[in-house]
Structure 1
Amino acid sequence: MTTTATPPISGDRGRGVVPTEARDPRTGSRMWTSRLIGALFLAGFLIYGAGSILVNSVVGAPDFLAGVGAQQTTLALGAFLMIATTAVDIGKAVLFFPVLERHGKRTAVAYLATMIFEMAMMTVGVLALLMIIPLADQADGGQLGPDAAQALGSLAVDANETAYQIGQLSLAFGCLFLCALLFRTGLVPKWLAGWGLVGYALHMAGAAAEVFGAPISLVLLIPGGIFEVTLAIWLLIKGFTPTAYNRSLVTQAEE
C-alpha cells in the first residue's frame, strides 16, 4: 500500500502561533493614528467649507450690513465653524507630532508651530468678522451712520480675508516641512509626498499673492486641496507605511 507522507509543519504555523504582523500591537497603533489624522483632514474641509458658505451668505452682498440684524445667528454659526477648523488643524499637528518627531524633531516642532500661528491668525480674522454684529446694531440704533457702518463692516471682512491668507501662508510653509519629511522617510508613498510639496508650494504662492492684492489663490489652491483629500483617503485605507512607522517606534524603544 502506497502512503503519502505528510509534509512537516514548521515554524509558527505548526504551533498555531499567529504571525507577528497580525498580532503586533504596533499595527493597531499605526492604523488608529493614520485614520484619525485622515479623518481630521476631511473634517477640516467640511467644517471650514460649511462655515465659509454661511458667512458668505451674510457678507456677500454689497450692502450686507443692512441685513445682518436678521442673520446674526447664521453669521455667528459660520464664524464658530471657521474657528473650529483651527482646532482640527491643531489636532492634526498634535497627532502627527510623535510620528514625525522620531524622524526629525525640528520638523515636528516647525509643523506644530506653524499650525499654532495659523490658528492665531484665523482666530483674529473670525473675531474681526464678529465685530460686524455690534456694528449693525449701532447702525440700526442710529449711533453710527449707515455709510460709516458699512465702511467699517467692509473693513472687518477684508481683515478676515487678510488674516486668513496670512494663516494659509503659515499652513503651507509648515506643510512643506511635513511633506519633505514624509518624502524622505517613506511614511507615505513618495509620489504622494512629492505631490504635496508641489501643491503646498503653489498654495503658498497663491496666499502670498492674495495678501498683495492678486486674486489667484483659488486656482493655486486646487492641487494642494486635492492632495489633502487624497492623503486623507490614503491614511484612512492604507495608513502610514508600516516599515517607516514601525522604524520610528523601534528607535523610540531603543532610546
Structure 2
Amino acid sequence: MNNHKRIARFVGLLYIIGTVAGIFSVVCTGSILESTDLLTKVSANGNQVILGTLFMLIMGISLALVPVIINPILKKYNEALALGYVVFRGALETFTYIATAMSWLLLVVLSKEYVNTASPDSTSFQNMSNLLGDAGEQIHSITMIIFSLGALMFYYLLYQSKLIPKWLSGWGFIGSIIYLATGVFALFGATFSILLMPLGLQEMFMAVWLIVKGFNPSAIDSKS
C-alpha cells in the first residue's frame, strides 16, 4: 500500500513539474516565436529561446515518466490500454517534443547566421525561417493530438479502475476530447487556446488529489 501511495505522489509531482515547466517555456518563447520579424527577434533573444527549449524538454520528460511509473498499476486493469498509454505519452509525445526543440534551436542558429552575414539573402533566410516556424506549429498540433489520445486511454483506465473518483476521471476524459478537437482544428490553422483550460485545470486538481489522497485503497485491494 505504501508503494502505491509513493507512486501516486510521484505522479502528482511530475504533473506539477511538467505544467510549471510548460508555462515557463511559453513565457520564454511565446512573444518571440510569434514575432513578424522572427529572425531578428530570435537573434536578439537567443538565450531566452534556448531556455524556453530547456523548459519544454523538462516538461516532456516529466510527462513521459508518468505512464512508465504508473504502468505496473494500470496494466492490472487493462494491459493493452496501459501499453498504449506508454506508447503515446511515453514515446510518441516525447519524440514530438524533441522535434519541436530541434526546430527552435535551428531557428537560433539560422538567426545568428542571418545577423552575422554581411549581405544576407533576406528572401532565402525568410523562407527558411517560415519553413521552421510552420513546421514547429504543425508539430505542436500533432503533439496535441498524440497527447489527447494518450490522455483518453489514461482517463478511461482511471474511470474503469476507480483509482480516483469517477467525477475526476470523467472530467479528464471529457477534457481530453475537447483537447483532441482543438488539436485537429490547429492542424488547419484554427486556434482555440481557451478550450485547453478544462483539461489543464483537471490535471492540476488531479495532481494535488494524488499527492494528498493517493489512489483509492479499495480499488488497489481489489487487484492485489
Aligned to 2:159: 183
TM-score, normalised to structure 2, is 0.93
Paired letter, 1:190 = K
TM-superposition CA deviations, 1:70-110 (whole Å, max 9, x none): 32211111111112211111111111111101111111100
Shift of 1:69: 2.7
Could you list the runs of 5+ residues in structure 2 that have no partner in the other structure?
none
Query: Compared with structure 1, are the counterparts of its residues 205 and 67 closer, same or farther at alpha carbon in structure 2 (3 Å cutoff)?
Result: closer
Paired letter, 1:50 = F
Aligned to 2:215: 240
- Cα distance between partner residues in 1 of 2:48 and 2:55: 11
- Which of 1 and 2 has higher RCO (CA within 8 Å, sep 6+)? 2
- Cα distance between partner residues in 2 of 1:181 and 1:197: 10
Q: Please state if 1:36 is matched with 2:2.
A: no
Aligned to 2:195: 220
Aligned to 2:83: 109
Asked if structure 2 preserves the Cα contact closer than 8 Å seen for 1:122 and 1:160, the reply is no
Aligned to 1:73: 47
Match of 2:147 among 171, 179, 192: 171
- Cα distance between partner residues in 2 of 1:89 and 1:243: 27
Asked if structure 2 preserves the Cα contact closer than 8 Å seen for 1:59 and 1:65, the reply is no
Secondary structure class of the residue paired with 1:103: coil
- Cα distance between partner residues in 1 of 2:42 and 2:150: 36
Asked if structure 1 preserves the Cα contact closer than 8 Å seen for 2:13 and 2:211, the reply is yes
Asked if structure 2 preserves the Cα contact closer than 8 Å seen for 1:63 and 1:150, the reply is no
Asked if structure 2 preserves the Cα contact closer than 8 Å seen for 1:111 and 1:175, the reply is yes
Paired letter, 1:168 = M
- Cα distance between partner residues in 2 of 1:121 and 1:144: 31
Secondary structure class of the residue paired with 1:235: helix
- Cα distance between partner residues in 1 of 2:168 and 2:188: 30
Larger-gyration structure (1/2):
1
Asked if structure 2 preserves the Cα contact closer than 8 Å seen for 1:31 and 1:240, the reply is yes
Q: Please state if 1:198 is matched with 2:147.
A: no
Could you list the runs of 5+ residues in structure 1 that have no partner in the other structure?
1-25, 251-255
- Cα distance between partner residues in 1 of 2:64 and 2:143: 13
Secondary structure class of the residue paired with 1:188: coil
Asked if structure 1 preserves the Cα contact closer than 8 Å seen for 2:16 and 2:204, the reply is yes
- Cα distance between partner residues in 2 of 1:142 and 1:102: 63
Aligned to 2:185: 209
Paired letter, 1:105 = E
Paired letter, 1:126 = A
Secondary structure class of the residue paired with 1:131: helix
Of the structure 1 ranges 107-116 and 56-65, higher mean CA displacement relative to structure 2 is found in 56-65
Aligned to 2:122: 146
Aligned to 1:58: 32
- Cα distance between partner residues in 2 of 1:241 and 1:156: 46
Paired letter, 1:246 = D
TM-superposition CA deviations, 1:21-74 (whole Å, max 9, x none): xxxxx1x21221111100111111100110121112432321131133332211
